[in-house]
Amino acid sequence: MTTLSSALKPLTRRRALQAPVAALAAGALPSGWAQGTQPSPAPLQIVGPWEISGLAPASSGYVFTRLQVTETLLDAADDGQPRPALARRWRRSADGLVWQFELRPGARFHDGTPVTAAAVVRSLQAAQVAPALLSQAPVESITAADEGTVMIRLQRPHTALPALLAHSSTMVLAPASYGADGKVRSIIGSGPYRIAVLVPPQQVETVVFDAYDGPRPAIAAVRYLAASRAETRALMAESGQADLAFGLDPASLRRLRRHAQNPALARRTAVRIASVTLPRTVIVKLNAGLPALRDVRVRQALSLAIDRAGIALALMGDEALAATQLLPPTLGAWHNLELPPLPHDPEAAARLLRAAGWQRHSDGLRDAQGQPLRLVIRTFVDRPELPLIATALQEQWRLAGIAVKVSIGNSGDVPRGHRDGSLELALAARNYANVPDPTGTLAGDFAAQGGDWGAMGWHSDTVVQALQELARTQPTPERSRALRQSITHTLQAELPVIPVAWYRQHVAVAPRLAGVTLDPLERSYRLTGMEWNNP
């Protein structure tokens, strides 16, 4: 029998492709991982950088929700507003403490059992354990009011609850998915696709679930393959081995676009590029508790010295990704159109540094006591563009007289440095819509004590109080807008973190595929909206 530990052994790309084929040829699928029947002969092929690190919803749930194998209680529109999913309607009490969710009556799991309130409660109770994000909500109890109604009682009002219930870590699984120890042993969801083959960490194959209570998808079968190198993913798209290739690097993106403009090459490759701006920002996290960075003029000077447009064009392939403020236009309710954009102005930076007491010397800037302005910026290779951006920032700050050393390590070095106080600067990519409503993420990042990926040595009563009001009450639309504007204005003026660039997801799309739209919140591949082009 295939065990979890053996199934999670690393696979080469060839092994990942061959394993399910060999199993089918032998008349059986891998024991413990094969669920259902073989996929159709020509499945839609997706290739992306995301590996399947296990079956726990908190670690790999996003893989199964994106593939529309599993569902969450609620969904989210592109702007983050809650939409029906397994719950067709919901309501909350006047005091905001009791929420009731009415389930779709025809929903069934892939093992044929009905989706009941008791099954949903079991999954949500499991999602209350960290690192699942529902653990952050002040939940008093989750119960089944009746067979088709889930009731969640809170200790205090928490307006972000719908957003948390749309996160992949709260995906709902059939009772048969769990072992006797309560751990997930198989993925039995309720979505329009069910798993046919699962070979972690690199491959999933799915087929249409015939008993799904919604419209039948036009695409009958889907295969997902994890490939770590962006060049590999682009070449698979170019050679026709992938219908959708996610996470294209700037060099591959430029090559594919050149080929698309060349008639001779276009006949051979014929891929097109779909793009969407994501709610993710490259930020510089600062330790504002340091004497040099406590002065807002120094933080502002660091920002003014950054050529965001140059970095975005040279390293991310798109000048429009230069961050004019912290939150990108994708987060429409939070993107403040009234904010003056963050400029690149080295002369203004020099004036602010002089006003803050820093004078030019042959070896850089020094204060009145002769102490040099020297800093260390930490970053990591989880996102390969970050070390390159850090090096560009190092040079731009050098021109301003600020000596910065780049230290490349692991992503865990940043929160550790925050907690032990050793961090000076850090470069990171922050997703502000890990759940569809950014309020909770911002509240964690800019709490009075700061956050691992947010403020350090800085706090604002204005920001804290505004975020608390948004999280705990139900303000009028006008009041909500005023609170968001107050938050974004303070963050722009005080710069507890410095925005550098936004992100755009680029996907290579095969010519045989139609109806492709991209989810800016990265919750779904939207497979049910796709179809094959007529030959």
Residue 402 has what pLDDT?
94
User: Helices 477-494 and 461-472 meet at what angle, rounded to 10?
Assistant: 150
Q: Are 469 and 475 in contact (CB under 8 A)?
A: yes
Q: In this predicted model, what pLDDT tens digit does every residue of 402-459 receive, in sequence order?
A: 999 999 999 899 999 999 999 999 999 999 998 899 998 999 999 989 999 999 999 9
Residue 25 has pLDDT above 80, yes or no: no
Cα 257 from chain centre: 26
Strands 403-409 and 374-380: parallel
Instruction: Output the six-digit token pair for 377.
Output: 């910026």
Q: What is the mean pLDDT of residues 499-512?
A: 95
Q: In this predicted model, what pLDDT tens digit does every residue of 252-305 receive, in sequence order?
A: 888 888 877 766 555 555 899 999 999 999 999 999 999 999 999 999 999 999
What is the rounded distance in angstroms from the CA atom of residue 192 to the CA atom of residue 233?
Answer: 26
Q: In this predicted model, what pLDDT tens digit does every residue of 370-382 receive, in sequence order?
A: 889 999 999 998 7
Residue 519 DSSP symbol: -
Q: Are 136 and 129 in contact (CB under 8 A)?
A: no
DSSP result, 67-92: TTSSB-SEEE-TTS-EEESSEEEEEE
Q: How far, CA to CA in Å, does 83 sit from each of 80, 160, 165, 166, 277? A: 9, 14, 11, 9, 21
SS3 323: coil
Q: What is the pTM of this model?
A: 0.83
Nearest to 296 by CA among 353, 378, 336: 353
What is the rounded distance in angstroms from the CA atom of residue 253 to the CA atom of residue 230?
Answer: 10
Cα 187 from chain centre: 22
Q: In this predicted model, what pLDDT tens digit does every residue of 389-406 receive, in sequence order?
A: 999 999 999 999 999 999
Q: Over the chain, what is the mean pLDDT?
A: 89
Nearest to 446 by CA among 340, 526, 328, 327: 327
DSSP result, 136-153: GS-EEEEEEEETTEEEEE
